[in-house]
Amino acid sequence: MYKKIIILILMILFCISNLNAQHGISMGLGNAYTALARGPEAIFWNPANLALSNNLPKFNFNMYSLGANFGNNAFDIDFYDEYLTGTGQKDADGNKIGKTLTDNDKKDILSRIPDSGLELMGKVDVSVLGFSYKNYGASIEFNMFTEGTLPKNAFELALTEIGQKDYSFNVDGTGFGVVRFNFSYGKIILKDSMRKIFNKQFKVKELAVGWTFSYLKGLGYAKVTESDVNVNITSTGFNAPSRIAVKLAEFGNGIGLDFGVGALLENGWRLGMAFDNIPGIIRWSSGAKESISTFDFKRQIYINELEDIEIDEYKKTIDKNLSSFTQTLPLNIRLGAAKYFKNYMGNIEVAREYGHTRFALGGGIGLRYFEIYTSYGRTRGGNYFSGALAFNHRHFYWDIGVRNRGALTMGSSEEFAFASSLRFGW
């Protein structure tokens, strides 16, 4: 039973909360929104779009934009049902009982985990009280980002029977939270001009550039700077001499600058390119320290001794205070294109975000006051499928979007995502 508990804990700990989209439509289009975002949404996706022509009122107020998603890169709901709750039996407290793992079950579990390990990547973007007026915009935005890896042999350890085995592995991870106070501006720099694009002449109706200046308030930072985990198992007991160092901070201050380019062509194409965090710098000064933890029993501990041992007696932590340190946020680049065909729309986007490439291809259809969107995308070696529904009136807009990773159905999906936004205009 303890092995099943360990597996469940690892699944929970390594849930991926990978949210790039703040809005239902952007999620429904697989985050391919750099060329399409208008109004307050352009502050996040592409500030140049604030200056481009649109059918929105002059003043637009975004009451909220939020989202959440959960998943991992190895396990789905069907796996959980099969191994942890699938026997149909319950214990004395009414909890479902999982199956007893056979050797083939263990092989199946391990085969689901990539050789690179079980990855953690979480990104949450929430915007509140955002507004745009003509080609100006401002918003308050919260960002959270986490990334880390648990090696595959850590799961081999969890599934190992007592016997003579040695395991040695490293863990790594980074996480931080920041509040952004954004101020955006877009400007038309070219209008009704013929330009050569990819060796073809196009009439550019509007070409705009835009900037988003941000004051950054860091809310917390943690990074594993060193790790050396060793586990020695024998037929009678075990030891786990380990060392992990983590750099920590509570608060910090910084600045950010995003830059975008947007264009409307005579043939109906909309183009967009955006660069986030050029620069994006936070100086962490409050509570800055490096925490070094070591653990060692100094000898083999027998199984029957565990109940009488105080684990904290064998763990030591030394904190080294730091005056401050600087974090540079990763540069993200997005390039997108979209075109409307009467009530239909198609779009495509490629991006490099947080060190990973993303591709999305999608489209939508307008049905008077309702719009429907769907897309296919690929990132981090996996496929994902998205959809969204929007109620769109000139003075009122609401949307909701969902996404599955790895499969169309919930049971076989390794991730489920949700996003929604609400906007008014007058």
Question: Could you tell me if 143 and 113 are in contact, meaning their C-beta atoms sit under 8 angstroms apart?
Answer: no
User: What value does the mean pLDDT of the chain take?
Assistant: 82
pLDDT reported for residue 110: 81
What is the mean pLDDT of the segment spanning 11-19?
41
DSSP reduced 3-state for 194: strand
Burial 249-266 (b: 16+ CB within 10 A, else e): beebebebebbbbbbbbe
The H-assigned helical ranges of 59-102 are 77-84
CB atoms within 10 A of CB 402: 20
Pairing state between β 200-233 and 165-169: antiparallel
Nearest to 389 by CA among 404, 370, 403, 376: 370
209 vs 230, residue with greater confidence: 209
89 three-class SS: coil
Rounded Cα distance, 138 and 128, in Å: 10
| Side chain identity, residue 334 | R
Q: Which residue has the higher pLDDT, 179 or 167?
A: 179
The pLDDT assigned to 379 comes to 83
**144, 177 contact by CB (below 8 A):** yes
Q: Which two tokens stand for residue 391?
A: 């109620």
Residue in 111, 95, 94, 115 with CA at minimum distance from that of residue 103: 111
User: pLDDT at position 4, please?
Assistant: 41
Structure tokens at 414: 């390794």
Residue 120 sits at φ, ψ, to 5 deg, of -115, 125
Local confidence band at 248 (pLDDT 50, 70, 90 cut-offs): very high
Sign of CA dihedral 350, 356, 362, 364: negative
| pTM of the full structure | 0.79
- Calculate the CA dihedral of residues 11, 13, 15, 16 and round it to 10 degrees: -140
- What CATH topology corresponds to 2-74+113-425? Porin (2.40.160)
Report whether pLDDT(16) > 50. no
Least confident window among 42-46, 307-311, 396-400: 307-311
User: DSSP states of 375-412 as a string?
Assistant: EEEEETTEEEEEEEEEEEETTEEEEEEEEEES-SSSTT
pLDDT-derived band at 6, boundaries 50, 70, 90? very low
d(CA 5, CA 30): 34
pLDDT the model gives residue 10: 42
Q: 142, 179 in Cβ contact below 8 A?
A: yes
Cα–Cα distance for residue pair 108/343, rounded to 1 Å: 47
Is 362 in contact with 28 (CB distance < 8 Å)? yes
Q: Please, what sign has the CA dihedral across residues 320, 321, 322, 328?
A: positive
Give dist(CA 286, CA 245) in Å, integer: 19
Q: In the chain, pLDDT over 70 holds for what percent of residues?
A: 82
Tokens 């959960």, residue located: 70
Determine the pLDDT at residue 97.
63
Mind listing the pLDDT tens digit for each residue in 319-352?
999 999 999 988 999 999 999 888 899 999 999 9
Q: Which residue has the higher pLDDT, 263 or 87?
A: 263
Residue 100 has pLDDT above 90, yes or no: no
162 and 303 Cβ atoms separated by less than 8 Å? yes
